[in-house]
C-alpha cells in the first residue's frame, strides 16, 4: 500500500519548491568544508555551541559509511541518519554481491539517486541534507594508485566532484569564493588542513573546540586532536595578525 | 564428509577443518578454506555443501560489518555474534534453510589488559546452539569427541591445545575411511585470527 499523492510538484514557472525549501533547510544547518589535497581529503565541520548538559561525543557530523568512505553532512540530522544507514547497507550489499568495495563514485551516485527518488514519489518529502563524501577513487585500469576525491550531493539529487566545497551555513557562497581564491592544485596535507580551517574560521568563533576536522588519507582516516587543531588555528591567526600589521605599517609609511 | 573441530584454551580458541572439497566420488579441490573470518577476533568453521557455506558465511560477515559501521565502530561480542548466526539459521529454516553445521569461535578482550576469554559455540543447521569447551562437526565427532573428553581440561595453554588437535587429526588419518590429507588450523587470541598451519595453501590457484 503506497501513497499516491505527490508532495513535490512543479510550480507554474518550473520550480520544485519543496526541493528549494529543502536547500534552505541545508542552509540553516552548520557549515561543512571539504578540501581535496594531492594525497588526502580534509573534512572540517562547524560544531555549534552545545547546551551545557549535553554530551558532545554523541553529536557526530563526520561519519564513516564504509572502510574507504567518510561523509560529512549539513542540514537535518535525523534525515542524515536515515540516508546514511541506507548508504551503509548499500555499501555492504555491494561488497556481498560483487566481492569488491564500491567506488566513491558509486556511493555518491547512490546517495544522489536516493535523494532524487524522494523528490518524485508519493507521500514523501525530500531529504533536507547535502553531503560531502571523501575518499580515494579506484586506480585507473587497475594500475597505479587511486586519487583523492570529494563528492557533493544536494536535496535535488545531483552529485558532482569538487576540488574544494562548502555546504550548509548562511555564508556558503562567500566561503566558496574564499576557497576559490585560496585553493592550489597539489596541496599537501598540511596546506589542505590549513585552507579548510581558514575557511571555517570565517564563520565560527576562533578555537579548536568549535570545529571537528578529519583527514582522510590513503590508508586511514584520522580525526585531528584538539591540541593539533589549536596549533593550526594559532598559526592562521598569527599570520593574519602579521598581515594586518604589515598593512598598517605600509599605510603609516605612505603618510 | 567435512571434519571440523574446535577447542578453547586459556586466552583463545583453535578451529581445525579439513581442506577437501568433494561431491560423491569426485574431489573438486584439496585446498579449500572452510574457516571464514567473521571479524577481527572471531571465526566460523562450517560443514556442509560449498554453496550454502559460502552464502551463509559471507552474509554473516557483511552483516557484522554493517553493524560495526552503523554503531560507531562497536564490535559485537562472540556471544552476540553466535546468537545472531543462530537467529539467521533459525529464520531461514522455514523458508530456505542453510544446510551448514557451524563452529563459531572468538576472543573477547577483558578490561585493563587482563587475558581475555576464548569461547566456542556449536550450531547445527536447524538452529540449535550450545556453548562448548570443545566441539566437532561431521563424522569426525565419532572419532574425536572421546579424545577431547579425555584430554581437555581447564587452563590449557595454546601449545597443549594444539597437541590435542594434532592428536585428533592423527586419529582421523588412521581410522577414518575417507582420506583427508590436508587440514587447516586457525587460532584466535588477543592478536586476532591467524592461520597456524595448513596442509595445502588456500591461496594457491
**Cβ within 8 Å, pair B69-A64:** yes
Q: What's the pLDDT tens digit per position in A69-114?
A: 999 999 999 999 999 999 999 999 999 999 999 999 999 999 999 9
Element (H, E) at B122: strand B117-123
* Cα-Cα-Cα-Cα dihedral sign, residues A178, A180, A182, A188: positive
CA distance B198 to B183: 6
How high is the mean pLDDT of chain A? 89
The pLDDT of residue A246: 66
* Interface subset of B 98-137, CB within 8 angstroms of A: none
Nearest residue on chain A to B65, judged by CA atoms? A92
The residues facing A132 across adjacent strands are A72, A152
The answer to ipTM > 0.85 is: no
Helix (H, G, I), strand (E, B) or coil at A126: coil
Write out the three cell numbers for A188: 599537501
What 8-state DSSP symbol labels residue A140? G
- Section A232-236 average pLDDT: 89
Whole-number pLDDT of residue A253:
47
Rounded to whole angstroms, how far apart are CA atoms A182 and A171? 16
Record the cell numbers describing residue B94, joined without a space.
522455514
- pLDDT class of B9 with cuts at 50, 70, 90: very high
How far is Cα B136 from Cα B179, in angstroms, rounded to an integer?
17
**Which chain A residues are Cβ-neighbours of B59 within 8 angstroms?**
96
What's the predicted TM-score (pTM) here? 0.85
Cβ–Cβ gap A92/B72 under 8 Å: no
Residue A92 in contact with partner chain B when CB distance is under 8 A: yes
- Whole-number pLDDT of residue A255: 43
Q: Among B62, B70, B73, select the one facing A95 at the smallest CB separation.
A: B62
- Of A153-167, A240-254, B93-107, B136-150, minimum mean pLDDT range: A240-254
| From B59, B69, B72, residue closest to A96, measured CB to CB | B59
What is the band of B194 on the pLDDT scale with cuts at 50, 70, 90? very high
Amino acid at each position: 500500500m503506497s501513497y499516491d499523492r505527490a508532495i513535490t510538484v512543479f510550480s507554474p514557472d518550473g520550480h520544485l519548491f519543496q526541493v528549494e525549501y529543502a536547500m534552505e533547510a541545508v542552509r540553516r544547518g552548520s557549515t561543512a568544508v571539504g578540501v581535496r589535497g594531492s594525497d588526502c581529503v580534509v573534512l572540517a565541520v562547524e560544531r555549534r555551541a552545545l547546551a551545557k548538559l549535553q554530551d558532545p561525543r554523541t553529536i557526530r557530523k563526520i561519519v564513516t559509511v564504509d572502510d574507504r568512505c567518510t561523509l560529512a553532512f549539513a542540514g537535518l540530522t535525523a534525515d542524515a541518519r536515515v540516508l546514511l544507514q541506507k548508504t551503509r547497507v548499500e555499501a555492504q550489499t555491494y561488497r556481498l554481491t560483487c566481492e569488491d568495495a564500491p567506488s566513491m563514485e558509486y556511493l555518491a551516485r547512490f546517495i544522489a539517486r536516493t535523494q532524487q527518488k524522494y523528490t518524485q514519489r508519493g507521500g514523501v518529502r525530500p531529504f533536507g541534507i547535502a553531503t560531502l563524501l571523501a575518499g580515494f577513487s579506484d586506480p585507473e585500469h587497475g594500475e597505479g594508485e587511486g586519487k583523492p576525491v570529494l563528492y557533493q550531493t544536494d536535496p535535488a539529487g545531483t552529485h558532482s566532484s569538487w576540488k574544494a566545497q562548502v555546504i550548509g551555513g548562511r555564508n556558503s557562497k562567500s566561503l566558496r569564493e574564499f576557497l576559490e581564491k585560496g585553493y592550489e592544485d597539489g596541496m599537501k596535507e598540511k596546506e589542505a588542513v590549513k585552507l579548510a580551517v581558514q575557511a571555517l574560521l570565517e564563520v565560527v568563533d576562533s578555537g579548536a573546540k568549535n570545529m571537528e576536522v578529519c583527514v582522510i588519507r590513503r590508508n586511514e582516516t584520522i580525526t585531528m586532536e584538539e591540541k593539533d587543531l589549536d596549533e593550526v588555528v594559532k598559526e592562521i591567526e598569527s599570520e593574519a595578525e602579521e598581515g594586518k600589521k604589515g598593512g598598517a605599517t605600509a599605510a603609516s609609511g605612505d603618510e | 564428509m567435512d571434519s571440523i573441530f574446535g577447542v578453547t584454551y586459556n586466552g583463545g580458541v583453535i578451529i581445525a577443518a579439513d581442506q577437501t572439497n568433494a561431491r560423491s566420488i569426485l574431489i573438486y579441490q584439496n585446498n579449500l578454506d572452510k574457516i571464514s573470518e567473521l571479524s577481527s577476533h572471531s571465526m566460523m568453521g562450517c560443514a556442509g555443501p560449498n554453496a550454502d557455506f559460502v552464502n551463509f558465511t559471507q552474509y554473516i560477515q557483511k552483516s557484522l560489518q554493517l553493524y560495526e559501521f552503523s554503531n560507531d565502530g562497536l564490535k559485537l561480542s562472540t556471544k552476540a555474534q553466535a546468537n545472531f548466526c543462530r537467529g539467521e539459521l533459525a529464520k531461514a529454516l522455514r523458508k530456505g534453510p542453510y544446510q551448514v553445521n557451524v563452529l563459531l569461535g572468538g576472543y573477547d578482550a577483558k578490561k585493563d589488559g587482563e587475558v581475555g576469554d576464548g569461547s566456542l559455540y556449536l550450531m547445527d543447521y536447524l538452529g540449535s546452539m550450545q556453548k562448548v569447551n570443545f566441539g566437532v562437526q561431521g563424522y569426525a565427532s565419532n572419532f574425536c569427541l572421546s579424545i577431547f573428553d579425555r584430554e581437555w581440561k581447564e587452563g590449557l595453554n595454546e601449545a597443549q591445545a594444539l597437541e590435542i588437535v594434532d592428536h585428533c587429526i592423527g586419529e582421523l588419518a588412521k581410522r577414518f575411511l575417507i582420506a583427508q590429507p590436508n587440514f587447516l588450523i586457525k587460532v584466535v587470541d588477543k592478536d586476532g585470527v591467524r592461520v597456524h598451519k595448513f596442509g595445502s595453501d588456500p591461496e594457491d590457484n
